A and B are shown apart, each in its own frame.
Chain A
Amino acid sequence: MANVVLEVKDLTTKYITRYKEDVYAVDHVSLKVEEGKSLGIAGESGCGKSTLALSLMGYYFPPLYYTSGEIIIDGLNISGMPADEVRRTILGKEIAYIPQAAMNALNPTRRIINFIEDVVKAHHPDTSKQEIYDLARERFALLGLPEDVLQKYPVELSGGMKQRTVIAISVILGPKILIADEPSSALDVTSQKMVIKMLRDLMDGGHIKAMIFITHELPLLYNVTDQIMVMYAGQLVELAGAHEAVFDPLHPYSKGLMGSIIVPEEGLRSAKLTAIPGTPPNLKNPPSGCRFAERCKYVRPECKAISVPLQESYGDRAYRCIIPEAELRGIYANERE
Chain B
Amino acid sequence: MNENKPICLSAKGVTKIFGVGQHKMRAVDNVNMDLYVGEVVSIVGESGSGKTTLAKILLGLTKETEGEIYFLGQKRDLRGGKRKKEYWKNIQAIFQDPFSSFNTFNKIDSVLLDCIKLRGDGGLPKEKKIELMKEACGFVNLKFEELTNKYPFELSGGQQQRLMIARIFLLKPKILVADEPTSMIDACSRATILDYLMQLRNEVGMTVIFITHDIGLAYYVSDTVYIMEHGKIVESGSADRVILHPQEAYTRRLISDVPKIHEPWDLSTV
Contact residues of A with B, CB < 8 Å? 44-46, 159, 187-194, 196-197, 200, 216-220, 222-224, 246-247, 256-257, 259-266, 268-269, 273-276, 279
Option from A190, A216, A246, A247 in Cβ contact (under 8 Å) with B257? A190
Known: A44-B189, A189-B254, A262-B217. A219 touches B263 (CB 8 A): no
Complex interface: chain B residues within 8 A of A217 (CB)? 187, 259
Complex interface: chain B residues within 8 A of A194 (CB)? 270
Complex interface: chain B residues within 8 A of A193 (CB)? 257, 267, 270
B244 touches A266 (CB 8 A): yes
B261 touches A269 (CB 8 A): no
Alpha-carbon distance A246/B265, docked complex (angstroms): 15
Complex interface residues of chain B between 145 and 176 (CB less than 8 A to chain A): 156-158
Alpha-carbon distance A197/B269, docked complex (angstroms): 10
A256 touches B188 (CB 8 A): yes
B260 touches A219 (CB 8 A): yes
B194 part of interface (Cβ distance < 8 Å): yes
Alpha-carbon distance A121/B160, docked complex (angstroms): 45
A159 touches B47 (CB 8 A): yes
Alpha-carbon distance A193/B255, docked complex (angstroms): 12
Contact residues of B with A, CB < 8 Å? 46-47, 156-158, 185-192, 194-195, 213-220, 239-240, 243-244, 253-255, 257-263, 265, 267, 270
Q: Which residue of A lies closest to B188 (CB)?
A: A44
How distant is B147 from chain A, measured CB to nearest CB, in Å? 14
Alpha-carbon distance A200/B265, docked complex (angstroms): 13
Alpha-carbon distance A263/B194, docked complex (angstroms): 15
Interchain residue pairs with CB less than 8 A apart (13):
A191-B47, A193-B257, A193-B267, A216-B186, A222-B259, A224-B259, A260-B187, A261-B187, A261-B261, A262-B216, A263-B258, A265-B261, A273-B194
Alpha-carbon distance A223/B157, docked complex (angstroms): 27
Complex interface: chain A residues within 8 A of B46 (CB)? 188-190
Known: A44-B189, A193-B270, A197-B267. A265 touches B217 (CB 8 A): no
Known: A263-B260, A268-B219. A274 touches B267 (CB 8 A): no
Alpha-carbon distance A127/B68, docked complex (angstroms): 63
Q: Which residue of B lies closest to A261 (CB)?
A: B261
Q: Which residue of B lies closest to A220 (CB)?
A: B259
How distant is B44 from chain A, measured CB to nearest CB, in Å? 10
Complex interface: chain A residues within 8 A of B217 (CB)? 262
